[in-house]
Amino acid sequence: MADSIAAAAQKHPAPEGLIYQYGTAGFRTKAEVLDSVMTRCGLIAALRSRALKGKWIGVMITASHNPPEDNGVKLVEPLGNMLQEEWEVLSTEMANKATPEDVSKFYHEIAARFKIDLDAPARVVVARDTRASGARLLACVLDGLKGAGAEHKDYGFLTTPQLHYMVRCLNTEGTKDSYGTPTEDGYYEKFAAAFKTALKGKKPSGSLTVDCANGVGGPKLTELIKHLPPKEEALEIFVVNDNVIKPEALNVDCGADYVKTNQRAPPSSKVGPNDRCCSLDGDADRVVFYFKDANNMFHLLDGDRIATLVASFLGDLVRQSGLSDSIKIGVVQTAYANGAATNYVEQHLKLKVDCTPTGVKYLHHAAEKLDIGVYFEANGHGTAIFSVDTLETIAKHEPKSTAQKEALEVLRACIDLINQAVGDALSDFMLVEVVLAHKSWGPQEWLSTYNDLPNRLLKVIVNDRKIFQTTDAERRLVKPDGIQTKIDQEVQKVRQGRSFARASGTEDAVRVYAEAATKAEADDLARKVAEIVKSFGSA
C-alpha cells in the first residue's frame, strides 16, 4: 500500500514554498496550484471513510463565489455535515507534506493513530461545479482514491448542497432515517413534492427571478422546475445568468456575493418595481433576496431577513400545531447580524438568540443543540435544523382539531423542504416562497418587519493579523492590550452604536464592522475604529 500512496503523490508533486490551509470553505486558492492538494484530499477521504467503517465520504470540487480562475475542495461527513475539526487539521498537514515519501509516511501515521484497518472498504462520492479547471482537478482526486484503493461514485456536475444530500442519502439508505434517493432525480422529486405540499394550494403573488451567478445552480434549477407544479398553480420562476458554456463568466457582475457586497442588483437585471428577485452563489449554497421599489430604490433581503422570516413562520406552525409546550425554537447569528434583526427576534418573536464566531460550522454546531435551530449568515448561507427528538415529537403528534392538522401537515412538509445537511439555495428560496405565500406578503411587507440599523464594513490591511485575538464570539478584542477600551470609547459616542474588529480568515487584514442610528454615525464610527486598528496593527 505504501508504494501506491507515494506513487499517487509523485504524479502531482507539491509546488515549493506554498502553504495550504483547510479553512471554513476547505482548501481554496488559484486552480493551477491545487493538483497536489486534490490528490492528498483523495487520500484523506479514503482514510476518513475507513475510520468510519466504510461510510461514504463526500469530496466537492468548488470555489463557490470566488472568481473563475480559483478552485477548491471540501470534504463532507456521512450525514452531509462539514468535516470534523480534527480531520481539518490532518488535511492541512497532509497538504503541506514536502515529498511523496512524507505523504505515504503520514498516511500510515494517521492509520496507526486512529487504529484504521487499511484493508477495510473505503467509499467516496465526488462532484464538481462548472469551473474550467474542475475536470483536471477531479482526475487528481481520483488518482489519490485509486492509490488508496477506495471505491468511488462520480456524480459529475452538482451544486454543493446536492453533493451533501447524496452523501447523507447513501449513508442512510435502507434505514429508518432514510433521507431520500441518492440520485439527482431523487433530489428534485423530494424537494418539489415537499414544496407542493407546504404551499397547501396557496399561490405566491407575482413571479420570482433567480440569478444563478452563471454557475452550476442554473442548469440544476432548470431541472428542478420540471418537477415543480405548473406556474399557473404555484410559482412562475424566471432563470437568469445561467450561462455555464462560458466558465469565465462565473460570478462576474452577478451572484449572491456581488449583490450583497455592492448592495445593488446585477447590471443584467431587467425586472420591474416590486418584482421579487434572488441571487445564488457559484455553487448554489447561498441565496439573498432583493427588489426595487416604485422609486427604483434597491432593497436587500439578506440572510438576517431570511432567518427572521423562517423563524417566525416555524414558530407560528409549532404553535398552531399545538406543540409549543414541547418544542422551542432558537435563532443562531454571528456578530455581523444587524442589531435590529437580533432585537426583532428577541423582542417581537420572543425567541432565543445565540451568537457564534463567523463561519458556517460554528452556526451549524450551535443550531444542532436546539430543538429547532434556524441559522443564516448575513451572506445568505443557512438552513434550519430539527433535532432527532423534535422530529420524533412532530411525527408522533396527534392533532386535536382541523386547524392543528393543517398546520402540522405544513410543518412536516417544511421539514422535507429544508435541506437538513447544509444550507441549500434552491431549497431555501422555495421555503421563503412558501412563507410569503402563507402570509400573503410581497417583498415590501417582508422588508417592513423591522428597519435595519445603518452599518458599515471596512477592511484594514495590517502587518500581522495574528496579533488581533477575540473573545465573546468575536465581538471583543483581548489582544493587543488596550485596543478594546479605545473601541468602546468611540462606540459610546454614537446613538445605538456597536462595533467590533476581527482578523480576516483569508488575508492579512482586519475587518471592522460598525452600526449606529444614522448612516453618517455608522460611517464615522467605522472610520474611527479602523484608525484604532491601523495604529495597533502597524506598531
In this prediction, residue 536 carries a pLDDT of 92
The pLDDT of residue 506 is 67
211 marked ligand binding residue: no
3-state secondary structure of 525: helix
Classify 358 as helix, strand or coil: coil
To the question of whether residue 64 is assigned a binding role by annotation, the answer is yes
Residue 297: pLDDT over 80: yes
Tell me: is residue 168 an annotated ligand-binding position: no
∠ Cα 104 107 109 (to 5°): 110
Q: Is 285 annotated as a binding residue?
A: yes
- DSSP calls for 261-328: HHTS--TT----TT-EEEEE-TTS--EEEEEE-TT--EEEE-HHHHHHHHHHHHHHHHHHTT-TTT--
Provide φ and ψ at 522, rounded to 5°: -65, -45
- Least Cα distance to 46 among 33, 28, 59, 35 occurs for 59
Nearest to 501 by CA among 472, 518, 66, 366: 472
Q: Is 424 annotated as a binding residue?
A: no
Determine whether the annotation assigns residue 62 to a binding site: no
What CA–CA distances, in Å, run from 436 to 166, 207, 408, 529? Answer: 29, 12, 18, 39
- Rounded to whole angstroms, the Cα distance separating 60 from 453 reads 37
pLDDT tens across 480-489, in order? 999 999 999 9
Catalytic residue among 36, 49, 64, 279: 64
Residue at 476: amino acid letter: R
- Which numeric CATH code is attached to 303-447? 3.40.120.10
pTM: 0.93
Q: State whether CATH 3.40.120.10 applies to domain 2-157.
A: yes
In the structure, what pLDDT confidence band is assigned to residue 308 with cuts at 50, 70 and 90?
Answer: very high
Report d(CA 400, CA 322) in Å as an integer: 8
53: number of Cβ within 10 Å = 11
How far apart, in whole angstroms, are the C-alpha atoms of residue 365 and residue 356? 9
- The yes-or-no answer to whether 2-157 and 303-447 have a common fold is yes
Give the pLDDT band (50/70/90) at residue 254. very high
pLDDT digits (tens, 9 = 90+) for 481-529: 999 999 999 999 999 999 999 998 767 789 999 999 999 999 999 999 9
379: its cell numbers: 451572506
Q: Please tell me whether 502 is known to bind a ligand.
A: yes
Cell of 524: 464615522
What distance in Å separates the CA atoms of residue 406 and residue 390, rounded to the nearest whole number?
18
Question: Does 91 qualify as catalytic in the annotation?
Answer: no
What is the residue whose three cell numbers read 448554489? Answer: 284
The average pLDDT across 534-538 equals: 88
Q: Do residues 303 and 336 lie in contact, with contact meaning Cβ atoms separated by under 8 Å?
A: no
Residue 173: what residue type? Answer: E
Helix (H/G/I), strand (E/B), else coil: 178:
coil
454-482 burial, b at 16+ Cβ within 10 Å, e below that, comes to bbbebebebeebebbebeebbbbbeeeee
Q: Is 283 annotated as a binding residue?
A: yes
The predicted pLDDT at position 450 comes to 95
8-17, 173-182, 354-363, 495-504: least confident range: 354-363
Which residues in 365-475 belong to E strands, given as ranges?
A: 372-376, 382-386, 455-461, 469-471
H-state helical runs in 96-183? 100-113, 134-147, 160-172
pLDDT range class, residue 23, cuts 50, 70, 90: confident
Dist. CA 367–CA 235, nearest whole Å = 30
Residues 6+ away with beta carbon under 8 Å from 430: 191, 195, 417
* Phi, psi (rounded to 5 degrees) for 445: -65, -40
What's the mean per-residue pLDDT of the chain?
94
pLDDT digits (tens, 9 = 90+) for 222-238: 999 999 999 888 899 99
d(CA 373, CA 362) in angstroms, rounded, equals 12
Q: How confident is the model at residue 389 (pLDDT cuts 50, 70, 90)?
A: very high
Would you state the pLDDT for residue 372?
97
pLDDT of residue 429: 97
- What number does CATH give the domain 455-537? 3.30.310.50
Question: In 3D, which of 321, 313, 296, 383 has the Cα closest to residue 351?
Answer: 313
* Res 505: pLDDT: 74
Alpha helices (H) along 418-518: 425-439, 443-447, 483-491
For the chain, the domains span 2-157, 186-301, 303-447, 455-537
Residue 255 has pLDDT above 90, yes or no: yes
- Known binding residue 395? Answer is no
Asked if the model's pLDDT at residue 538 lies above 90, the reply is no
Report residue 2's pLDDT band, with 50, 70 and 90 as the boundaries.
low
Q: Which of 277, 61, 262, 55 is nearest to 158 (CA)?
A: 61
Using 50, 70 and 90 to split pLDDT, how confident is the model at 539?
low
Q: How far apart are the first and last CA of the chain?
A: 52
State whether the Cα torsion 523-527-528-530 is positive or negative.
positive
- The proportion of the chain whose per-residue pLDDT surpasses 90, expressed as a percent, equals 87
Beta bridge partners of 27: 73
Say what the pLDDT of residue 504 is.
Answer: 84
Least confident residue range of 264-278, 297-311, 498-512: 498-512
- Is 506 labeled as ligand-binding? yes
Q: Would the pLDDT of 181 be above 80? A: yes
Strand locations in 16-69 (E): 27-30, 56-61
Contacts made by residues 330-333, CB under 8 angstroms, sequence distance 24+: 330/354, 330/367, 330/370, 330/371, 330/372, 330/373, 330/374, 331/307, 331/373, 331/374, 331/375, 332/356, 332/363, 332/366, 332/367, 332/370, 332/373, 332/374, 332/375, 333/304, 333/307, 333/363, 333/375
Best CATH choice for the domain 186-301 from the list 1.10.10.10, 3.40.50.150, 3.60.21.10, 3.40.120.10: 3.40.120.10
pLDDT tens-digit map of 448-475: 999 999 999 898 999 888 899 999 999 9
Dist CA 365 CA 332 (whole Å): 10
Grid cell 445564488 in the structure block, residue: 280
Task: Return the pLDDT at 359.
Answer: 82
